[in-house]
Chain A
Amino acid sequence: MSLNVSNLTVHHGAICAISQVSIAVPTGTLAAMIGSNGAGKTTLLRTLSGLKTPTNGSIMWKGEKIIGLKPEALVRRGISHVSEGKSVIPELTVRENLELGAIWRRNAKESKESIDQVASIFPRLGERIQQRADTLSGGERQMLAIGRAIMAKPQLLLLDEPSLGLAPLVVEQIFQTIRDLTTSMNLTVLLVEQNAMGALKIADLGIVLNLGKIVAINHAQALIDDPAVRAAYLGY
């Protein structure tokens, strides 16, 4: 188990956003977390990447307790978080956005190699490398956000709703890329999604979160087949 969350409780002021959540994700696993709005999915990701401090519980990453560490320290331990809503910096060029991902390594040569690698994964980004990010389409921005995370050479990738606001064809393409990356780079991925079906289809593990609590955790295919999950989240 590379990521081990146990009894995690997080508050927003007086409101309890996540209560007693325990999850274990083995190395190389793509875990999809689904649930309705306000279920606490984003809060969980923000806690894992150090943006938010939990009230209680523990998070172990590769055998180390990581609660209390800042995001900048966690990036150095291989945790990359792509936050919600195409997290790119529109004022910077595509190249600069990518360079940003590798900036903490302070190694120009490695950074260049990583850019080439990202450009081979997302050829569209390679073509637009000198453009400002605000000239990109929604799908391209999402690719850029994921690309920036890849630049950091992560081992754990936290993705917050990469499909948000994208056309169905683009969503399919992004999901396929996430699946491929997980396998080819031996990543551990926690994918938070509103598009439950699409996410579960590519995932190994499925987690259902409701009102801050885990209501189901199982093989992704088993969740797709579960009538209760189907009715509540898959809509048929």
Chain B
Amino acid sequence: MDLLNTFLIGITAGTIYALMAISMVLVWRSTRVVNFAQAGMALLSTYFGYEAVTRLESFWIALPVAMIGGALVAALVEMILIRLLVKHSTSGPIAGVAPIIATLGLLGVIRSISAMIWGGQDLRIVGPVSNDGFTINATTLVFSPLKLLILVTVLVLMLILSVIFQKTNIGLALRASAYAPEIARLSGIKVDWVRTLGWALAGATGAVAGMFQTVNGNGTLSPDSIEFSLLLVSGFIAAVIGGLDSLIGAVIGGLVLGLMISFVLMYVSSGLFFIAPFVILLTILFIRPQGVFGAKAARRA
């Protein structure tokens, strides 16, 4: 029973990490920036969701509100900060680290602004269904209706995303601009706007990750919440496992990471909550430096 429990918890957490990883991959593909502020943007979107939940008392209205808010914030960030950054990206010692530093700065700005508006205390978001475990034959699982719902919703979202990417012109434009911006421009694609769109999609995806991470955790939200630190690190690690460039890789990376963390916490020690992802990351980078799905050259880019 423990085994099944650990597995299901890991898979649920993994799908949330996968969403976060997808949003980091979307940003990486559109502007070649690893966005360390992604979890911060998810935090802000979750606050939007919180506002909607308290006013309208419906999680299912709050979720799209958070997504739209997240998309708008991300689009604004791309248009204001990232375009400037690309324009000013000079040669010289700082050039390689400038995007990293800028997105870290953004993370700090978003955190402190959120704390200024909503304060440092815990705010509560009530999930749409109960997080009390299912009971089978008088044993209670940790796996709950809420976790099942998260699992299903995330899978549906991934399906929608993959249809957008594989079957629509917008998806084709997104992929072409990611792989070969010059050819995309010569084909008449307005690459600047496609990049903004990529960020917006990432913002919306991250918003879902933030909302679910909050209700799947202890249901509370604060600027310094542990859940979001975990989301920041796990999203990045899952994306790296997947090779940063691959959406399928991000999904698998998220699931693998979720399972590994879940098993380590269950069978090794529950105190390794934060250090486990780091060890997993190092192990994977040592075995396969380009990620599981990454191209060999990508790591040096």
Contacts and interface: CB of A to CB of B under 8 A. Distances in A.
A66 interface: no
A101 interface: yes
A103 B189 contact: yes
A103 B179 contact: no
A172 interface: no
B176 interface: yes
Nearest to B173: A103
A100 B182 contact: no
B187 to A, nearest CB: 5
Chain B interface mostly helix, strand, loop or mixed?
Answer: helix
A140 interface: no
A148 B187 contact: yes
B36 to A, nearest CB: 26
Contacts of B185: 51, 70-72
B186 A75 contact: yes
Most interface-central of B175, B180, B185, B187 (chain A CB within 10 A): B187
B299 interface: no
A51 B188 CA distance: 12
Contact of B188 (A88, A91, A92, A152): A152
Given A51-B182, A83-B182, A91 B189 contact: no
A87 interface: yes
B32 interface: no
A100 B179 contact: no
A68 B219 CA distance: 54
Nearest to B170: A103
A104 B187 contact: yes
Interface string B178-196: 0110111111111100000
Contacts of B191: 72
A75 B185 CA distance: 9
A92 B175 contact: yes
A109 interface: no
Interface residues of B, number: 17
B177 to A, nearest CB: 10
Interface residues of A, number: 25
Interface string A47-72: 00101000000000000000000111
Given A83-B182, A91-B179, A96 B172 contact: yes
A92 B176 contact: yes
Nearest to B295: A91
Contacts of A101: 187
B169 interface: yes
Interface in A76-101: 76, 80-81, 83, 87-92, 96, 99-101
Nearest to B193: A72
A76 B189 CA distance: 10
Contacts of A99: 169, 172
Contacts of B186: 49, 51, 71, 75, 80-81, 83, 87
B172 A100 contact: yes
A75 B187 contact: yes
Q: Which 10 A-B pairs have the closest CB atoms?
A: A104-B188, A75-B188, A71-B185, A100-B187, A89-B180, A72-B188, A89-B179, A91-B179, A81-B186, A72-B190
25 contacts: A51-B186, A71-B186, A72-B189, A72-B190, A75-B186, A81-B186, A87-B183, A88-B183, A89-B179, A89-B180, A89-B183, A91-B175, A91-B179, A96-B175, A99-B172, A100-B172, A100-B176, A100-B183, A100-B187, A103-B172, A103-B173, A103-B189, A104-B187, A148-B187, A152-B187
Given A88-B183, A92-B175, A100-B187, 11 more contacts: A49-B186, A70-B185, A75-B187, A90-B179, A91-B175, A96-B172, A100-B172, A100-B176, A100-B183, A103-B169, A106-B169
Interface of A: 49, 51, 70-72, 75-76, 80-81, 83, 87-92, 96, 99-101, 103-104, 106, 148, 152
